[in-house]
Every structure is written in C-alpha cells, then in structure tokens.
Amino acid sequence: MNGILSYGTYLPLFRLDRKLIGEAIQGGGGKGTRSVAGHDEDTTTFGVTAARRAVQPIGGAGSIGSIWFASTEPPYADKTNATAIHDAIAAPDEAAAYDVNGAVRSGIGALRAGLTQGQPSLVVLSDMRSGMPGGADESSGGDGAAALVVGPGSEGAPVLCELIGAGSQTAEFLDRWREPREAASKSWEDRFGEQILVPLASATLTQALESAGIELGAVDHLVVAGSHERAVRGLRKKLGAKVGALVADPSPSIGNTGTAQLALQLADALDVAEPGQVIAALHVADGADALVFRVTDALAGWRERRTTGADQTIPITYATYLLWRKELHREPPRRPDPDVPAAPAAYRDRRWKFAFRGSRCDVCGTVHLPPQRVCASCGAVDQMTPEPVADATGTIFTVTADHLAFSEAPPMAVAVVDLDGGGRVQCELTDLAGTLPSIGDRVEMLFRRAYTVNGIHNYVWKARPIRSAAPGDDREEAHG
C-alpha cells in the first residue's frame, strides 16, 4: 500500500504584522501576521529547502523516481521549475520532473498523482500568495512550502502513514480566478462559493471515509484547508469531528499558503500522530478532495532520524514587503546590470551550481569548492571524488558589506566560509535582519536567487546565520 514515506516543510523567516497594512492603507490589514518570502526567495528556492528536509531522513534523494512541483506562483512559465529542485537535491538523472502549476487545486492534484506512482515520488507544494495593496488577499495570503516523499515503502524508507481512502468531487463555477498575466486574483461573492463548496466537501469526505471503511468519529486528526476561507471555516464547525481532532489552522500567524496549505497542516498532524491513528485531509478549491491515512509503527523511528530546529522569525515593515513584492520600485543601483547567466556554463557546472558539490582529493583529502581536477594542496591530477557540501554547516572566516555590488537589497553581505567537513567558499549572506554577522559566527547553506536578468533566475548557494543554536553547536542541533 502506498503512503507518505517522509516530509519536510519550509517557512521564510520574515513576518508582516497585518496591522501595519491598516496603518498605511485605511481599511486594509487585520490581526496577526503573515509569512513573507525574502527578496532572494521564490517558490523554487522554498521548494528546494523543503525537499532537502524531506529527503534527509531517508538518506537522500537516491530513491526518488519522479518530482512533482505545484505552485500558483511558479518562477518560470514554459520552462519546468521542478528541474532546478531535481538538480539541487541531487536526484537521480533517471528521475522525471514535472510542474503542475496555476491553480490552488494543483497542490492536492500533484499529491494524489504522486501517491499513485510505483516508485517513490517527491511532491513539492510551494507557494507565494499576494493581492492588491490593502486588499483581503494581500493580508490573508502567506508564503511557504511543504515537500512529501510518497509511494511504496522500502526497508530504508518505510510507509509512515498508508493511504486507506480517497475521494473527489468537481463542479465548474466561478469562485476565484486570475488572468495568467495578472498579479492579483478576483473572487465572486463569498456566500455563493460557500453554498456550493460546503455540501460538496462534506460529500467528498464521506466518500473518502466510506472507501476507507471508517466513520468520522474514528478520525484522530482532521485537516481542512483550501482557498475559500469562509467555506473552510464553515466546514471546520459543521463537519462534526471528534473533540480535539481538528488540526490547528496556522493562517493567523503565517497566512494561507495556497498549494502548500494542506500539506503544512498534514505535516503538523504527522508531527504528533501515534501509530494506528487515522488522519483525514480535506481540501476545498474548485471542488473538493479528501485523503484518509492510517499511521504506521514506522513514524516514531522516522522522527528520530529527522533533524529539527525552530526557525526564528524576523518582523518587516509594510514598505519592505511592497519593495520585495515589486509593488514599490526602488531606485536601481547605479551599477551595470549583472551578467546574463550563460546556459552552457550553467549546464556544465550544474553539479556545483545547483547541487553544491565540490571535490575531495583522493590523495590528501583536501576539499575544493568549486571542484577541481588538480589538487591545490598536493598537485595530484584527476584523483578527485565528488564531495556534496549542501548540508554542511560552517564558520565565517571573513565578512564584508559591499555597497557597490548589484543587489536587490543593498548592501550585499559577502563572506568567506569555512565548512565543517573541509573546504572554503566565498558566498553571499542572506536573511540578516539588518545586522552584519561577525567573524566566527556559525552559518548554514541555502539555495537562493542571486538576481534575475533577462528573465533568467540565477540561483546560487548562500549562507545564513544559524539562529536556533549557539555558535559551536554541531549540525544535528542546528538544522531546521
């Protein structure tokens, strides 16, 4: 029986207090906060980090047969975004990579597609939700990602919860829509969608539970998510789940994360579920989908293999949010535009550029970043073994703020980092919250965007300060 084999989530560090929107634009905002992507993040970089966290407890991406990326805000159209995730997590060359983009319902669609595959699939649900300044979508939206490895279990990656039932209902009606070139979506009057979606979603959950042969009263964790917030709120009240079974809705603090919302809550349920318990997940968007899982004995062992760490949050101003969302336009730096990345070089160096893989000298053990043919230490030629360093933590050897370099958020902080397993790399620092780190500070590596030029997103690896652990702590404690 297929099921979920592993999972990982990622939320950006930045939070916008909704009352700051109301202070700037009368009638906007509301209570609580929403999550906001940093200036160098997009749904691909989110997806890479969530995917790395998902494959880490099962020993890497070696068993992945296909990758499915779903977003309403893909960095590219025409070009497949899942290929960058494929290369960044060093998935096998034989693994397929597909995008399922555009609609919020694509998220649960990608998950259902992945669950039917004969090989483990990596489903990456990643989104950034926006709206017109001062509007409801802007304040209620959120940014984040979840990645799930699903499919048949194996000895190294047993099924954590098996799929025991599923259901779907579809109806064509106008609820929420957006023209492909528009930034903000439009929606019909709330109550119309609620009248259609609530009975349709109730029927879908009943259908899924019947296919699993269980009653709603036997569901220990119930996730209800979707793009129609009024319908979701109504369903949470009316469905009649047993006391304490409803999985908390994180929207008040992070916002509605679109294609990622259901899986983020599913991950919350799996974080606390016990063997034998039943988890049901109901998604409402352009119809409804429901999945029913039973937790296996393997979940406890998987939790021990996972590295966890609480990411701290960084408050931002509304002006910063508008700048990062390109709703406000900053005076560009008085520097020439950065070079357009050359396709042949990027392809040739992709193991370095995307997977962050250097080389280790077989003779003397020196690590070279980027990889070299000739050892800088002992001079050995073509005696190198690939050395993946993406999961390594490191220490800042030297750091500087470059006020002249092209940056979307000047000044650019650049550091030379000594990685724990060997190797020294010069890279940009990110997620700094306005303070320049010091020499000796601990950092972790993240897949981010350097800049976008000529429509090409130039992805690179950057270092960010480890905030959840004190300097000198080892990587198990430091990783999020």
Task: State the residues that interact with Zn ion by CB under 5 A.
Answer: 361, 363-364, 366, 375, 377-378, 380
Q: Kindly tell me which of 129 and 360 has the beta carbon lying closer to Zn ion.
A: 360
- Residues 6 or more apart whose CB falls under 8 angstroms from that of 254 comprise 11, 15, 33, 34, 35, 142, 144, 264
CB of residue 362 vs Zn ion: minimum separation in angstroms?
Answer: 8
- Specify whether the CB–CB gap between 282 and 205 falls below 8 A: yes
**Cβ 19 to Zn ion, closest distance in Å?**
58
Helix (H, G, I), strand (E, B) or coil at 426: strand
| CB-based contact 112:291 (threshold 8 Å) | yes
In the block, tokens 């119809």 appear at: 287
Q: Hey, is 56 helix, strand or coil?
A: helix
Give the nearer residue to Zn ion in terms of CB position, either 308 or 377. Answer: 377
Is the C-alpha dihedral spanning 165, 157, 476, 438 positive or negative? Answer: negative
Least distance to Zn ion, CB of residue 427, Å: 23
Rounded-to-integer distance, Cα 245 and Cα 236, Å: 10
- The least CB distance from residue 293 to Zn ion, in Å, is 50
Residues in the chain: 480
Residue 247 gets which letter from DSSP?
Answer: P
CA 71, CA 115: separation in Å to the nearest integer?
18
Cβ at position 380, least distance to Zn ion in Å:
5
**Listed residue (126, 110, 121, 12) closest to 74, CA to CA:** 126
Question: In the bound complex, what is the minimum distance in angstroms from residue 384's beta carbon to Zn ion?
Answer: 9
- Specify whether the backbone of 265 is left (phi greater than 0), alpha (psi in -120 to 50) or beta: alpha
Nearer to Zn ion, 340 or 381 (CB): 381
Closest CA to 235 of 291, 175, 281: 281
The residue among 247 and 361 lying less far from Zn ion, judged by its C-beta, is: 361
CB of 351 to Zn ion, least distance (A): 20
β-bridge mates for residue 313, sequence order: none
Nearer to Zn ion, 380 or 453 (CB): 380
Give the whole-angstrom CA distance, residue 60 versus residue 477.
Answer: 19
Give me the least distance between CB of 366 and Zn ion, in Å please.
5
Shortest gap between Cβ of 461 and Zn ion (angstroms)? 24
Question: Between 145 and 384, whose beta carbon lies closer to Zn ion?
Answer: 384
The residue (of 367 and 399) whose beta carbon lies closer to Zn ion is 367
Nearer to Zn ion, 380 or 432 (CB): 380
Contact predicate 438/396, CB 8 Å? yes
Using the CB atoms, write b or e for 57-67: b if 16+ within 10 Å: bbebbebbbbb
In whole angstroms, the minimum distance from the beta carbon of 53 to Zn ion comes to 33
Tokens of 322: 């508008």
CB neighbour list of residue 83: distance below 8 Å, 6 or more residues apart: 97
Q: Please give the C-alpha separations between residue 382 and each of 166, 287, 356, 371, in angstroms, as whole numbers.
A: 53, 58, 19, 11
Q: Among residues 363 and 404, whose Cβ is nearest to Zn ion?
A: 363
**Least distance to Zn ion, CB of residue 9, Å:** 40
Cα–Cα dist 143/258, whole Å:
8
Residue 41: name the closest of 430, 347, 323 by CA.
430
Neighbour count for residue 169 (Cβ, 10 Å): 17
Q: Report which residue type is found at 33.
A: T
Instruction: State which residue, 275 or 365, has the beta carbon closest to Zn ion.
Output: 365
Q: Which is nearer to Zn ion, 166 or 375 (CB)?
A: 375
